[in-house]
Structure 1
Amino acid sequence: MAIFRIHHVTRYEYDRPVKESVNEIRIFPFQCHDQEILQHELLITGQPEIHTFTDYFGNKVGNFNLLQPHKVLSIESKLLVRTTASSQLQINFHSGFAQLQQEMADSLLLLELARPDMITNQSAIDNILTVIRQPEKSVAAVTEHCSEYIFKNFKYLKGITNIETTVDEILQHRAGVCQDFAHLMLHILRSCGIPCRYISGYICPNKDGMRGEGATHAWVEAWIPGYGWAGIDPTNNIWVTNKHVKLSVGRHFNDCSPVKGTFKGPARQKLSVFVAVAYEDGKVFEETNDVHLHGVTEMSIEPFSGQQ
């Protein structure tokens, strides 16, 4: 078990007042047996009333309006969480695709999460499948090999992709960041019939030197027959244990975007995202990412904000 104190601030600044900002947030920690929420506080500009609901994938979602003119919108999350997952996972490496098909037969959700999207360069994905999927391999072994393949053959490189980057573009770049590797892994696994879902959250590696600490992190959960959902992080080529904190799940990033919304006003905006992770040993990791937006209406690397 480990306890983390996570401070996450998404801040929009406008060059002139805007109004009628309508927003949807998914920055509530996901309710599951692998983590215990000890404290969670949200501080939002203007202290609007937040209306919450649970979406299709089980995420807690908040909606709020900021109607009065404003030049700053700050969404601040202060989270104290204890991760309860074991550091020694007992993943089932014996169950194969026949058992997977049996479990999927009674679940529309699993069937949906096993369906790949259409891409142009499916032949490149098929070539990867010839490497990672062999008839004798279990579902867990194929999943693990997929993560290893991405880790070894795609370069971790910031600044060349954004949330609109497609799987075709990731294949072309042979590089990207955590959300790109998650999207690529989703498509590969779905192309061989394994249900999987996108996970948004934080990685808290402390002194382990893993990639992705700072801002939000993304990884994948695959359905392993005889076990259930198992998290795997292709950015670091590890199975997820107690160093990842989960915020939301979905088919793709669009289902998990921490912040998205609209506003009225011909303003240019500046976006910054600050994340700090405090550990039990007293160490604090913090990072601020300035997101460069071009024009009046932009889709950012992490949240989305546009003009109505």
Structure 2
Amino acid sequence: MRLAITHDTRYRYSPSVQTAQHVAHLQPANTPCQKVINHWMQVEPAATVQHNIDAFFNHRTYWSLTNPHEGLLVRAHSEVETIALPSANAIQSWESVREHFRYRAGHLGDVHSRFVFGSHHAPVDEAFLVYAQSSFTPGKSLMVAAQELTARMHHDFRYETASTDINTPALQALQDQRGVCQDFAHILLACLRSLGLPARYVSGYLLTQPPPGQARLVGSDASHAWASVYLPELASHACQGWLDLDPTNNRTGLASPGLDYVRLAIGRDFADVSPLRGVLQGGGAHTLEVAVTVTPRNEPASH
């Protein structure tokens, strides 16, 4: 499936911002399940944009604005072809994976151990362990247990737009059993890590379907987030050992939950892969507008 994604972010400042430095994670990567056909990014006011690869092998873009400005527009456009991977089954128990990642003096560690530890938005805590344990019964395969936990979260939690923000702790969202995709991804990560398992945060996009008989609207979509867990048994598979888990939609799959998903970046949690952030000098009150459009490549979108 070939998908076109346009992601617009617009800030308006009052009073003007004097100088600013920004960093963005808005360029998808080539992965086993997706190929980037093209990508471009526009910044207004105009700036010299630079690129590098971060510690998680994500594309990172950064720039400086050295003159006063009353707003900022960042438009990122990508065309991505998503690819289906061969299926595979992993029977390794979750306990054996936990033991694989347990620290032992004098033994070489696994490169994915960095995803075992708690992070700011996805901490290790007894509450997450208690919630996860009914899915992670003794001897159950990690693949089956992770899929069951994903389905249980989808059943137990209520998706509520604007019920949380980036500062809402995952423990609070767990207690309230409501939130948005970002909250659900952080809760799932925290559950897996509290069990001693490696799990990473995934930012990206999902192709949504308009109501029957209606055209797809420009800017009506949003960025998406999900989690993935590492299965050492499948390290040599095309998925490179990662099983993706989307509790918001109860979708799972090797390296991607489906052909209608596009991966943008991976990290320990949202803080590693924020689509856009910056440090500003001056300014005061500001407004933010974000509009995302995901369409099949040759399908027109209505305004």
Q: TM-score, normalised by structure 2?
A: 0.85
Q: CA deviation at 1:142?
A: 1.2
Residue 223 (structure 1) aligned with residue 223 (structure 2): no
1:251 aligns with 2:268: yes
Of 261, 275, 279, 1:262 maps to 279
Alignment-derived partner of residue 92 in structure 2: 95
Q: 1:270 to 1:56 in 2, by over 3 A?
A: same
Q: Secondary structure at the match of 2:263?
A: strand
For 1:266 and 1:48, locate their aligned partners in 2 and report how far apart those are by CA, in whole Å: 19
Map of 1:300 onto structure 2 = none
Q: Deviations over 1:9-48 (max 9, x none)?
A: 0000112321211101110112312111111110101321
Task: Please give the secondary structure, in 2, of the residue aligned with 1:132.
Answer: coil
Deviation sequence 1:108-157 (CA, Å, 0-9, x none): 44222112359999443232233111112101011101101211111111
The reply to whether residue 137 of structure 1 matches residue 135 of structure 2 is no
**Number of residue pairs the alignment of both structures matches:** 280
One-letter identity of the residue aligned with 1:271 = L
Structure 1: how far apart are the matches of 2:118 and 2:17? 40
- Is residue 92–residue 225 contact of structure 1 (8 Å, CA) maintained in 2? no
Q: Is the 8 Å Cα contact of residues 126 and 194 (structure 2) preserved in structure 1?
A: no
1:25-81 superposed Cα distances (whole Å, 9 cap, x missing partner): 110112312111111110101321112111111111111001111111000011111
Q: Is the 8 A contact 1:121 1:168 kept in 2?
A: no
Give the Cα separation in 2 of the matches to 1:284 and 1:37.
Answer: 21
Alignment identity in percent? Answer: 28
Match of 1:232 in 2: 245
**Off by >6 Å, runs of 4+ in structure 1:** 118-121
The 1-side partners of 2:82 and 2:221 are apart by: 18
| Structure 1 position 158 matched with structure 2 position 165 | no
Q: Does 1:33 align with 2:38?
A: no
After alignment, is 185-194 or 198-207 more displaced?
A: 198-207
Given that 1:91 and 1:140 are in contact with CA atoms closer than 8 Å, whether structure 2 keeps it comes out as: no
Task: After TM superposition, give the deviation of residue 98 of structure 1 in Å.
Answer: 5.6
8 Å Cα contact 2:79-2:297 kept in structure 1: no
Q: What is the CA RMSD across the aligned residues, in angstroms? A: 2.4
Work out the CA distance in 2 between the residues paired with 1:34 and 1:120.
29
Distance 1:107 1:49, change over 3 A: farther
Check conservation: 2:117, 2:124, Cα contact below 8 A: no
1:251-299 residue CA offsets vs partner (Å, 9 max, x unmatched): 010001010101111321110001111214625388xxxxxxxxxxxxx
Kindly state the Cα deviation for residue 191 of structure 1 after the two structures are TM-superposed. Answer: 1.3
In structure 2, runs of 5+ residues without a counterpart are 102-106, 213-219, 235-240
Whether the 8 Å CA contact 1:221–1:232 is kept in 2: the answer is: yes
Residues 214, 205 of structure 1: alpha-carbon distance in 2 compared, 3 angstrom cutoff: closer
**Could you tell me whether the CA contact under 8 Å between 2:202 and 2:228 is conserved in 1?**
yes
Match of 2:117 in 1: 115
**Deviation larger for 76-85 or 277-286:** 277-286
Which residue identity is paired with 1:20?
Answer: T
Cα pair 2:94 2:136 within 8 Å, conserved: no
Q: Check whether the contact 1:194–1:222 (CA below 8 A) recurs between aligned residues.
A: yes
- Which residue of structure 2 lines up, in the alignment, with residue 282 of structure 1? 299
State the partner residue of 1:296: none
Task: Give the TM-score normalised by the residue count of structure 1.
Answer: 0.84
Matches within 5 A, 1:56-205: 56-86=55-85, 90-97=87-94, 99-101=96-98, 104=101, 106-116=108-118, 122-205=125-208
